[in-house]
Amino acid sequence: MTIDMNIQHYTNMEDLAQGVADLVVQSGEQAIAKRGVFHWALAGGTSPKLCYEMLCDAPIDWKKVHVWFGDERCLPVGDVERNDEMANQAFLNHVPMPESNIHRIHAELGAKEAAKQYVDALSLISCLDLVLLGMGEDGHTASLFPDNPALLSHDLAVAVYDSPKPPSDRVSMGYKTLKAARQRIMMVTGEGKREVFERLRLGEDFPISINDSEWHTIL
């Protein structure tokens, strides 16, 4: 049976990135109007980069925005493969957001310690307003991979070992945190993900199988 999914299809990366950027601004404005603050978790990987670049001139009060990270790779600070470094270059270095509003995962300390610290940080907020997520060709999201023990944890953030993609050690927001977010946007690009996407629509279970999410795709 096909699952009902809220799907927006695009024909090019520019339109997808702009569409998602507009949704981020809309979500941020609504959160700030209702609660005075906007807690937003960034996705890693290459697909969101253009979206972040488009947000540099967004009409939003960046002093009321708190940025979190869906996952991080256990690499040294400043490594170009880290998700926070990509976000730095794409937009965090270009907007007037206080550094104290940027909640980095200190994965350079090792997966176990970094996950513990992120649990402590996440426990200080009720939930995230928006989570931006991508999807791998195996149906993983953040650093929650199929059949990995981290997927079963009920912690707010989890240490991930033996990742099928390098580096093997990572830290990810837990499935509990992702599901609790007020809004989730999935960015899915690439022909190689079409098969898993169609299997998702037919009801097959993957780590990215989170109900009530908005899907923005180029497949």
CATH number of 6-171+192-205: 3.40.50.1360
CA-closest candidate to residue 213, choices 174, 176, 195, 187: 187
Note the pLDDT tens digit of each residue in 74-131.
Answer: 999 999 999 999 999 999 999 999 999 999 999 999 999 999 999 999 999 999 999 9
Distance between start and end Cα atoms, the chain: 21
Q: Break the chain into its structural domains and give their ranges.
A: 6-171+192-205
Contact 169, 110 (CB under 8 A): yes
- Let me know: does 57 contact 90? Beta carbons within 8 Å: no
Cα gap 177→202, rounded to integer Å: 25
Residue 219 CA to residue 19 CA, distance in Å, equals 16
| Per-residue confidence band for 5, with pLDDT thresholds at 50, 70 and 90 | confident
What gap in Å lies between CA 208 and CA 140, rounded to an integer? 6
Selection from 200, 211, 192 nearest residue 47 by Cα:
192
Contact status, residue 17 vs residue 217, Cβ threshold 8 Å = no
pTM of the entire predicted model: 0.95
Query: Each residue of 174-215: pLDDT tens digit?
Result: 999 999 999 999 999 999 999 999 999 999 999 999 888 999
